[in-house]
Amino acid sequence: MTAMNTPRLIFHAGNCLNNKKPFARQCRLCVQYCPHDAIGGDYRIDRAKCTDCGACMSVCPSDGMLDSAQRATGEYLLRAAAPVLHCPAAQPLGWEIPCIGVLDRDAWTVLLLRAESASVRVFTGDCARCDDRQACAVSVKALQNAAAGWEEPLQLKIEIRPDTGTPPDAAAAAQAAPPPPKEGRGFRALRAAGRQKLKELLPGAVAAETGAVPETRRWLLDFLAGEPERRTPFLGVRIGGECTDCCVCAKVCPQDALTIVQQEGKIRHIYESARCVQCRRCEEVCGPQTLKLEIVRLTHKYLTGKILLREGVPRCCAQCGAPIFHKKEPGLCLACARKDPAMRGVLY
């Protein structure tokens, strides 16, 4: 069984990192990895060239590129007894996605988690002969990154099963079929059903929904909510002892995953991992290079809550009192240091 509506990739300007917060180096991953040159300088999709291969989705950190059926795909993965995903060129068993390319790091993480307790399979056609093979390669790289911190044996099965035109076995099709929709009553249920119907008729309507947490990250959070003690590998932020508390990392974070709280003369660096899309802007601007993204193992509590990464005391110039962003002695700002020739080669 396939998805109710044909998946279609959409550019979501509100989710694009370039539109969230200014940064010296714009994100152009979608343009860089598109194998069909279907994404223009304004990041809009040229439908005449786009094949819905999903390479842009796999590398986009923030749902700037997304599939209009993404939420329905997540519901299927989390609720089906034996989830099966297949591309259009593979045997039509389970849930159809545009291409393996639409699966990003978080999506693969959910598949790996589900595969520990259920039969989870991904069917592909003959990728070597497919025009979208580059998108598949990009997504497989995302799978390798997701599996890098895995301690348990991997149970996920990826099989090459080209569509031969023969109907799938009835028993297997019944097992992989999407479960019936959740029962709902009242106005909220009717409104949700109406919104879903609108999305099926007008896929572009999903582009009006802006969220701080990407859809596949929501899949991960929903899964871990049912296993609150499960520790999952996650590429998260860590701050080392050389931090100068300059707070530039928080200022450039487009997701507000890093925030600063000043209290009782101290600076507290707060991290919300659910919002973090691993764009590495914070790592890039860190002067002392003490902030790093590393694999950590987090439970649902730490993925959905706020983590105190560091508590420090801001340093001020010993002469003028202005903030300084280094740990060298003497503690002077650059303006005051330049007034003293002895500081040449020490602070400037």
Question: For residue 113, which of 125, 102, 123, 105 has the smallest C-alpha distance?
Answer: 105
pLDDT computed for residue 1 by the predictor: 46
Both 303 and 345 in a single domain? no
Burial bucket for residue 334 (CB in 10 Å: 0-12, 13-18, 19+): middle
25 located within any domain: yes
> Are residues 224 and 300 in contact, defined by beta-carbon separation less than 8 angstroms?
yes
112 located within any domain: yes
CA distance 263 to 109: 37
> Are residues 230 and 224 in contact, defined by beta-carbon separation less than 8 angstroms?
yes
List, for residues 226-271, the tens digit of each pLDDT value.
999 999 999 999 999 889 888 899 999 999 999 999 888 899 999 9
Give exposure, 40-72, as e/b (b: 16+ Cβ within 10 Å).
eeebebeeeebbbbbbbbbbbbbbbbbbbbbbb
Measured in degrees and rounded to the nearest 5, phi and psi for residue 317 equal: -60, 135
pLDDT computed for residue 3 by the predictor: 44
Both 32 and 48 in a single domain? yes
pLDDT computed for residue 263 by the predictor: 85
pLDDT computed for residue 182 by the predictor: 61
The pTM of this model reads 0.85
Place of tokens 């508390």: 245
The three-class DSSP label of residue 334 is helix
List, for residues 62-91, the tens digit of each pLDDT value.
999 989 889 999 999 999 999 999 999 999
Both 104 and 239 in a single domain? no
Q: Give the mean model confidence (pLDDT) for residues 112-125.
A: 95
Largest CA-CA distance found in the chain, in angstroms, rounded: 85
1 located within any domain: no
Burial bucket for residue 187 (CB in 10 Å: 0-12, 13-18, 19+): exposed
Both 185 and 158 in a single domain? yes
Both 260 and 307 in a single domain? yes
The alpha carbon of 4 is separated from its chain's Cα centroid by a whole number of angstroms, namely 25
Burial bucket for residue 114 (CB in 10 Å: 0-12, 13-18, 19+): buried
Model confidence at 56, in pLDDT bands (50, 70, 90)?
Answer: very high
Q: Residue 247: give the domain boundaries.
A: 232-313
Both 113 and 74 in a single domain? yes
2 located within any domain: no
Question: For residue 150, which of 176, 181, 112 has the smallest C-alpha distance?
Answer: 112
> Are residues 110 and 147 in contact, defined by beta-carbon separation less than 8 angstroms?
no
Residue 19 has pLDDT above 80, yes or no: yes
Both 210 and 288 in a single domain? no
The percent of residues above 70 in pLDDT, for the chain, comes to 88
284 located within any domain: yes
Q: Is 94 left (phi over 0), alpha (psi -120 to 50) or beta?
A: left
Both 187 and 41 in a single domain? yes
205 located within any domain: yes
Mean pLDDT of all residues belonging to the chain: 87
Both 212 and 271 in a single domain? no
The secondary structure of 183-229 as a DSSP string is: P--HHHHHHHHHHHHHHHH-GGGGGG---SS-HHHHHHHHHHHTSTT
CA distance 273 to 200: 32
pLDDT computed for residue 94 by the predictor: 92
The percent of residues above 90 in pLDDT, for the chain, comes to 62
pLDDT computed for residue 2 by the predictor: 44
3 located within any domain: no
CA distance 99 to 188: 33
Measured in degrees and rounded to the nearest 5, phi and psi for residue 261 equal: -120, 125
35 located within any domain: yes
Overall domain count for the chain:
3
